[in-house]
Structure 1
Amino acid sequence: MQIAFARAFDKRASTLVLCFSGFATNPKFFAHLACDIPACNIAICYDYRDLAQVDSRLGLCNKSSLESTFLPPVLRDLQELIDRHRHCILVGFSLGVAVAARVIGAIDRAGAFRHSIAINGTPLGIDTRYGIHPRIYARTLEYFDVREFARAFFGSDDVAEITARAKAMKSPIMRGFNGDFSTLFGNVLECKQELQALQRFCQAWGECSASKSGESRAGVHFTHAIISSRDMIFSPMILESTFSHTHTQCHSIDAPHYVFGSFTSWGKLLGICVPKVDSSSGARFWEARQSYTENAPIQATMRQNLMRLLLSHAKGREFEKVFEFGAGVGDFSVLLQENLAYTHFVCNDINNHASILQARLKPKTRVAIFDMHDIKNQPLCLERFDLIASNACLQWLNAKEILESVVPMLASGGLLLLGSFGARTCYEVREILGIGLEYMELEDLCELLQELGLEIVESGSETLKLDCGSALGVFRHFRASGVNSLSGNALNKSKILAYQARFGGKITYEPVYLLAKQPKP
């Protein structure tokens, strides 16, 4: 398996689109797509002739986390590539969906991808119910004809029509094309080698799966599926059946199997599933991930107070399932795991802190990377938890919307533990600069939770002053802790001097604490 980049690698890019191409589909099939996603690297995995070497190192039936030192170089490169990006989007095309499901399911640190998109393929690839039927695949392999494959791939029998379509989209794949499709897909021997490798890979992967559902047997849950109505390789009915019993959103489009020819850019293609591929939300915390813990003393005080509040009422209770949202780099997660008896622990963040969290937290912690505003579209929302906790995150979200989604996730008798901020927080910044967050008062939070059917066990607030030494120190503190919500033009020398004259180096925080309970019937 090889990895190529759609354009020169950008070390500063925060978003990664990782595409597993299909059989015989090398990077030139994507070269016409413009990269119109801000600060984005696009990596394409292709050429699966050596899959046997890759898969033998993964261990077919063992999906536990693997040490990087035991991985083949190409998988180590993938793992490092994933870890260095804030947002990761997985795209699998055709049989590349099956490769992505297995490979990423094994090496991903438990949930780095906010969106996973299957395009005209299934997680099992070759299967009697959830893919290309093994007999059909075997016959294709035995009698492989590159011209017949091209016909199904492009959805046309006419070479002239295929060439005209490619020229219309200015695709480099048809540059110099003279009717010989082996110049596009490779010669028959190369194609058969790749088909055989994919056949063995899919068969072995299917054999080690015991579940009845094709999707649940896969190593990756695909959040979206794009299904071409004119697909002549994967039956649209099979594709719809595969994803019908999961939390996968299906999007049907009028296109042949090679769907990329119908688009001019990655943004337009992914926009079918994800209207806004990247977002500035959470960016400041990603930039401050290395400096957050030592520069966020207020949040440290809050998590200690929340822990005491919980323990005073939990009284040695054992929690079957715990969910923490807005985990960041895991400071509160560590404290929860050290002090609670639990069986399952799930933590979420909008940023890909998966590698940091997996390194800090106990084994088998499940990390789920997604925007909490999208919680209703996540499989997680169907689960029930005995404890849902969050510290210093709710103020960045639409609190009403989030709590309306989160409260139904509490099991009977379950506890909701929240730490947030009140209206006096950073009032100095609002006075000098006229900007700041809109904080929900503690009384309003309690009222909302009661309207949602919860009992308030205990709530309270406090006022804390932090002395940063100078006005400049205050704004450096914001930057290092990731809480700086200032626009680029909001701060200048005169405003820093005004802050210094009015408040010196002090800043006010008003932490609020709340413990609520889902009543038993």
Structure 2
Amino acid sequence: MNAAFIRQNHTPVLELFFNGWSMDDCVAHALAGADDLLAVWDYTSFDLDLLPLLAGYREIRLTAWSLGVWSAAKYFENKEVAFADAVAVNGTLQPVSAEYGIAPDIFAGTAANWLEERARERFNLRLAGGRAELAAFPGSGRSAESQQNELNSLLHNIMESLIPANLFRLAVIGSRDRIFSPAAQRAAWQMTESRIVEIDSPHYPFALYPEVAELGKLG
């Protein structure tokens, strides 16, 4: 895991952003806001100690996107962190699942074919919502090999782990998501106590909601 402060002005509130798979800090640098912003990415391993970075804040507001939803829930299991709010965006607690996430064969196929440039291009088009929207997607500077290693590690860890406890107050579902289908997201979150809000958005919602705190105000 990697983490970096995107904004650090020692405000009393910290926005903690668990990024999606394959990303680096590029998406986080595109996020607006006034409060401190700490971004987390690369879930190849979970051995980074975030707790010292969270110390001293009056409030910590968690926003997790895509596979960052499962990763945040998994990471904070058995850790005593009290979130002022926690929002899941276009992801679920069962991400490798035909009913509640991404079908296992599609998940595994994405990992197997990731080194092919055309496979990466197709994925990014689906993530952004189309060619016009792709221009607003910051992308990632990581190598394809690094991204593939992360996805294989996530696949293994998800399949070998129990479903993590739900820490999210709100689940935001993009009605045009072509990575995690809206139907699968609805089915997953309806089994929890999380409030569900749907927005007119593809999988990558931050071109429409660049201020991460906005998403928590939707429901």
Superposed, 1:344-383 pairs within 5 Å as: none
Q: Does 1:92 pair with 2:64?
A: yes
The equivalent position to 2:149 in structure 1, one of 183, 189, 193, is 193
Structure 1: runs of 5+ lacking an equivalent: 55-71, 174-182, 210-216, 274-521
CA distance in 1, matches of 2:120, 2:157: 22
Displacement after TM superposition at 1:185 (Å): 5.4
Superposed, 1:306-317 pairs within 5 Å as: none
Displacement after TM superposition at 1:163 (Å): 5.0
Which is richer in helix?
Answer: 1
CA distance in 1, matches of 2:134, 2:92: 28
Q: Which residue of 1 aligns with 2:28?
A: 30
- Given that residues 92 and 100 in structure 1 are in contact (C-alpha distance below 8 angstroms), is that contact kept between their aligned partners in structure 2? yes
Displacement after TM superposition at 1:48 (Å): 2.1
The equivalent position to 1:137 in structure 2, one of 104, 107, 114, is 107
CA distance in 2, matches of 1:85, 1:187: 34
Q: Which of the pair has the greater relative contact order for Cα pairs under 8 Å at 6+ separation? A: 2
Q: Which residue of 2 aligns with 1:231?
A: 177
Q: Does 1:257 pair with 2:187?
A: no
Displacement after TM superposition at 1:113 (Å): 0.8
Displacement after TM superposition at 1:137 (Å): 0.7
Between stretches 231-240 and 184-193, larger displacement belongs to 184-193
Distance 1:245-1:28 versus aligned 2 partners, 3 A rule: same
Displacement after TM superposition at 1:247 (Å): 1.5
Distance 1:163-1:98 versus aligned 2 partners, 3 A rule: closer
Q: Secondary structure at the match of 1:262?
A: coil
Q: Secondary structure at the match of 1:16?
A: strand
Q: Does 1:48 pair with 2:18?
A: no
The equivalent position to 1:268 in structure 2, one of 211, 214, 218, is 214
Q: Secondary structure at the match of 2:193?
A: coil
- Given that residues 23 and 195 in structure 1 are in contact (C-alpha distance below 8 angstroms), is that contact kept between their aligned partners in structure 2? yes
Q: TM-score, normalised by structure 2?
A: 0.89
CA distance in 1, matches of 2:174, 2:98: 20
Q: Which residue of 1 aligns with 2:124?
A: 150
Aligned AA (1:197): S
CA distance in 2, matches of 1:270, 1:185: 28
Over the matched positions of the two proteins, sequence identity in percent amounts to: 28
- Given that residues 106 and 219 in structure 1 are in contact (C-alpha distance below 8 angstroms), is that contact kept between their aligned partners in structure 2? no
Number of corresponding residues: 215
Q: Secondary structure at the match of 1:199?
A: helix
Aligned AA (1:138): A
- Given that residues 166 and 192 in structure 2 are in contact (C-alpha distance below 8 angstroms), is that contact kept between their aligned partners in structure 1? no
Q: Which residue of 2 aligns with 1:10?
A: 9
CA distance in 2, matches of 1:128, 1:249: 22
Distance 1:154-1:87 versus aligned 2 partners, 3 A rule: same
Displacement after TM superposition at 1:238 (Å): 0.7
Q: Secondary structure at the match of 1:261?
A: coil
Distance 1:28-1:118 versus aligned 2 partners, 3 A rule: same
- Given that residues 102 and 220 in structure 1 are in contact (C-alpha distance below 8 angstroms), is that contact kept between their aligned partners in structure 2? no
Displacement after TM superposition at 1:230 (Å): 0.4
Measured against aligned partners, the alpha-carbon deviations of 1:172-194 in whole angstroms (never above 9, x if no partner) come to x3xxxxxxxxx735333222111
Displacement after TM superposition at 1:226 (Å): 0.5
The equivalent position to 1:115 in structure 2, one of 77, 85, 92, is 85
Distance 1:220-1:83 versus aligned 2 partners, 3 A rule: farther
Q: Which residue of 2 aligns with 1:21?
A: 19
CA distance in 1, matches of 2:143, 2:87: 30
Q: Which runs of 4+ in 1 moved over 3 A?
A: 183-187
Displacement after TM superposition at 1:103 (Å): 0.4
Q: Secondary structure at the match of 1:227?
A: strand
Measured against aligned partners, the alpha-carbon deviations of 1:91-123 in whole angstroms (never above 9, x if no partner) come to 11100101001101232x1x5012111100011
Q: Secondary structure at the match of 2:180?
A: coil
Superposed, 1:202-213 pairs within 5 Å as: 202-205=158-161, 209=162
Measured against aligned partners, the alpha-carbon deviations of 1:433-464 in whole angstroms (never above 9, x if no partner) come to xxxxxxxxxxxxxxxxxxxxxxxxxxxxxxxx
CA distance in 1, matches of 2:86, 2:133: 30
